[in-house]
Amino acid sequence: MQNLSFNLTPTIGDNVAGFSHTSAGFMIWLKARSLVWRVGLYQGDPVQTFDQPFDRGAIGFLEVDRTWRNAAREITVKAGVWHYWQHRRLRSTLGPSVGGVYGIAEWRNIPIKRYRLGFFAQVAGNPESQGPISSYLGFGGKLSGFWAQHRRDALTFGIARAWFSTARTMAETTEEVAFVAHLPDRMIIEPDLQWIIHANGGPRNALVATLGAGVAF
C-alpha cells in the first residue's frame, strides 16, 4: 500500500533508535512449497553504520509468508519476530535491547467494474514493553483505476492506533488519506493528509499535510 505511515510498524521503527535509516546487513530468502521464509541481520546503529560496525549491536528478523492467487485477487499473510541487541554502554544513546512480533495481511487487486480495490491490516506487539511503543494496530485500503490512461494512480486511506508503554500516556490514533499521481516522464506526486488524535500520547491533536515527490525507474 502507498500510505506514508503504514510501512515499518512503529513497534520496530520507534522502539529501535535510527532504524528508519538504511543499515548495513543482509536478508536471505528461502521458498519451501507454498511458504516463503526470510531471515535478516542488520547492524544496530544505522546512523553510524561504519563506526565500529561489529561493536554497536544488531537487529535480527525471521519472517514467513503465504500467498494465494487467482485471476481476480491476491491475498498475502505474513508473520514475523524480531529482536534488537544492544551493549549496555550504548543503551543510553541507542536504546535498550528489545524485541517483538508482528503480522501483516494484504488483499490486493479486487475488481470492481473498472476499479481495483485492495485492503491491508497490520498488528504488532512488544511483549517486553521496554520501548516507547508496546502495541500497534493499523488497517486501510487502496483504490485505483480512476482514469484509463493512468491506471496506477491511486487513492489510499488508513487508520492506525499505537499504545505506549507508559501507563499514563494516552494511545495515539492516526487517520490518513493520500493520493498517488503518476505524471509523465516517470514522475510521482503524493499529497498526504493526516489527522492525529493524542499526538505523541499527549492531550492535543494535530493536522499534518505533506507533499511527496519522486522518480520511478
pLDDT digits (tens, 9 = 90+) for 156-185: 999 999 998 877 688 999 999 999 888 876
Of 123, 20, 128, 26, nearest in space to 80 by CA: 123
Flag whether the pTM goes above 0.85.
no
Of 168, 112, 167, nearest in space to 143 by CA: 112
Q: What is the pLDDT of residue 57?
A: 80
The better pLDDT of the pair 116, 168 is held by 116
Report all structural domains of the chain as residue ranges with CATH numbers, in order of start: 10-215 (2.40.160.10)
Q: What is the pLDDT of residue 3?
A: 45
Interatomic CA distance for residues 160 and 176, integer angstroms = 9
Res. 105: pLDDT tops 70: yes
Range 76-80 contact pairs with CB under 8 angstroms and sequence separation of 24 or more? 76/104, 76/105, 76/106, 76/108, 77/103, 77/104, 77/105, 77/106, 78/103, 78/104, 78/105, 79/103, 79/104, 80/38
| Percent of all residues in the chain with a pLDDT value above 70, rounded to a whole number | 82
Res. 189: pLDDT tops 70: yes
Average pLDDT value for residue range 124-132: 78
Q: Which residues pair with 67 in a beta bridge?
A: 76
Strand, coil or helix: what is 54? Answer: helix
